[in-house]
Amino acid sequence: MSEQPDKKTQAPSAQEPDETIREEVTQAEGSVLHAGMSAAEQTTKEIIDILGNCLTEVVEASGQELETLRARVAELEAENARLRAKAEHIDVINSLRANEGASVLVLCDNPDFSDPNVGVEVNDAWTNWIPMRFGGDNVLDALRKALAAREALSKKGGE
């Protein structure tokens, strides 16, 4: 049976990993101890610094993504408002021309004069079949005024 030599008497052929780590720790301790921190405290501080930097990068990335998302939400809200306005245009026109023989005429824009910029004419039984003109800042505004006039006349006639 061959005896294995004692590790203490064994000649080191290459540095073992544990010894390399010990040397690095000793060097680190030497540089850290003058700062009044133990190796464990220094390691903890380094880990905290690394995590803090990572967190800062994540927060900055999240902030950029958040700004991108906010911009996209604003775009979608504007598009939604535009589509709702288009749908309201159609709904009001269909409401004003729902009676048999009723018509709605959208006039061309008139930005050159102090009069309303846009006008619509409605011809229906409630106008006594005489085209009645309504003006506004935009087509929807003029259509809403026509609808309000019809509703006001129907309430007046129903009293």
pLDDT per residue, tens digit, the chain (159 aa), is: 555 555 444 554 455 556 666 666 555 555 544 455 566 666 777 787 787 777 777 666 677 777 888 888 888 888 888 888 888 889 999 999 999 999 999 998 877 777 788 999 999 999 999 999 999 989 999 999 999 999 998 888 655
Shared domain for 135 and 112, answered yes or no, is yes
* Residue-level pLDDT at 32: 44
The one-character DSSP state at 53 is: H
Q: How far apart are CA 60 and CA 66, in angstroms?
A: 9
Shared domain for 144 and 119, answered yes or no, is yes
CA distances from 32 to 26, 49, 108 (A): 10, 16, 82
Shared domain for 119 and 88, answered yes or no, is no
Shared domain for 90 and 114, answered yes or no, is no
Give yes or no for a contact between 127 and 142, defined as CB atoms under 8 angstroms apart.
no
- From the list 99, 100, 92, 101, the residue with the least C-alpha distance to 136 is 92
Shared domain for 123 and 78, answered yes or no, is no
Give yes or no for a contact between 142 and 108, defined as CB atoms under 8 angstroms apart.
no
- 52 lies in a domain? yes
* Residue-level pLDDT at 69: 80
* Residue-level pLDDT at 34: 43
Give the tokens for residue 66.
């958040």
* Residue-level pLDDT at 104: 96
* Residue-level pLDDT at 19: 62
How many structural domains compose the chain?
Answer: 2
Helix or strand holding residue 104 (H, E): strand 103-106
Segments forming the whole domain that contains residue 54: 21-96
* Phi/psi of residue 75, nearest 5 degrees: -60, -45
